[in-house]
Structure 1
Amino acid sequence: MSGKQVYELTIDDFDSCSVWFFPMDDTVEDELTVRPLSDQDACTDFQILVRTVFFGVNRAAYYGYLYWSSNAEVEYLKPVVLSEEGEAVTFWNGIVTRVWESSEFACSIRSELPLSYVSEPVFGLPSICGKLEGLYYLSDDQVCCVK
């Protein structure tokens, strides 16, 4: 299977497979290539993305994913909320200071802050729960947040 680029993942992709992984071998196009994961043994060998549900303060539910990690800090989990139309709101932006986009989807997400989230427990890995206050980035070795 050739896989797809991580930024091309959709809600439908996570409906068909709740876990995706970065193969990182010579069969992939580049380091952004992901494939569905169906083998429990492989889940410890690769970075994986896990289907996640996000809940807004007004009880709206959104779907997306996070990078499964035993470290629950946002910079390791890199949460992403997906829309039915293919838009994405990425909550970790590394050293890039982000501003909220003016799209209808991004505005609806922002109006629901803080978002709580829970990932699916997969292949014996526990689910990860947490809360997002805004868009996160790194500045002078400090994690900052744009609400």
Structure 2
Amino acid sequence: MSDKQAYELTREDLINFSAWFFPMDATVEDELTVRPLTEKEACTAFQVLVRTSFVGARGSVYLGFLYWNSIALVEYVKPVILSEGGEAISFWNGIIKPQWNGSEFSASLRADLPISYMSEPFVNLPSLRGKLEGLYYLAEDQVCCIK
């Protein structure tokens, strides 16, 4: 099996498999374990991560994933961009107020805002599209953004 932790996914993993799912059964280490999703498996029974293309305001193209959801709001799809060097930038931070870290990749993304995204369609999961204006979080029942 190709099980991994969701936070360990790499660009190569997404190139090799366009969708990953959370099996949530006795065969997995914990609730963050993901496995490549094949077309023969039912997409609707699992939470699914889908390969996503991101395009910045300056035209830079990035690869990452989102949590596929029929509600296409940032707090549901939780977009993540992966760098070629292995860094992951999550655009949804839950109740924790995010900060742009000092890495070169993070600074490059911040300078490229807004960033548009489009997930790849997979079997019965249509493509999702959206625009990211910064890093998002929840503060007192309101979604906020740090640009």
- Common topology (TM > 0.5): yes
Shift of 1:91: 0.3
Asked if the contact 1:50–1:67 (Cα under 8 Å) also holds between the matched residues in 2, the reply is yes
SS in structure 2 at match of 1:59: coil
Q: Aligned-residue CA RMSD in angstroms?
A: 0.9
Structure-1 residue corresponding to 2:112: 112
Q: Which moved more, 1:19-28 or 1:119-128?
A: 119-128
1:52 maps onto 2:65 in alignment: no
Gapped regions of structure 2 (runs ≥ 5): none
Structure 2 letter corresponding to 1:59? G
Aligned residues: 147
SS in structure 2 at match of 1:131: strand
TM-score with structure 2 length normalisation? Answer: 0.98
Structure-1 residue corresponding to 2:77: 77
Matched residues, percent identical?
63
Asked if the contact 2:55–2:116 (Cα under 8 Å) also holds between the matched residues in 1, the reply is yes
SS in structure 2 at match of 1:23: coil
Any idea what the Cα deviations from partners look like across 1:97-124, whole Å, max 9, x if unmatched?
A: 0110010000000000000000001103
Asked if the contact 1:2–1:28 (Cα under 8 Å) also holds between the matched residues in 2, the reply is no
Gapped regions of structure 1 (runs ≥ 5): none
Shift of 1:42: 1.9
Structure 1 letter corresponding to 2:64? G
Asked if the contact 1:40–1:123 (Cα under 8 Å) also holds between the matched residues in 2, the reply is no
Structure 2 letter corresponding to 1:128? L
Shift of 1:125: 1.6
TM-score with structure 1 length normalisation? Answer: 0.98
Asked if the contact 1:22–1:31 (Cα under 8 Å) also holds between the matched residues in 2, the reply is yes
For 2:94 and 2:121, how far apart are their aligned partners in 1?
Answer: 26
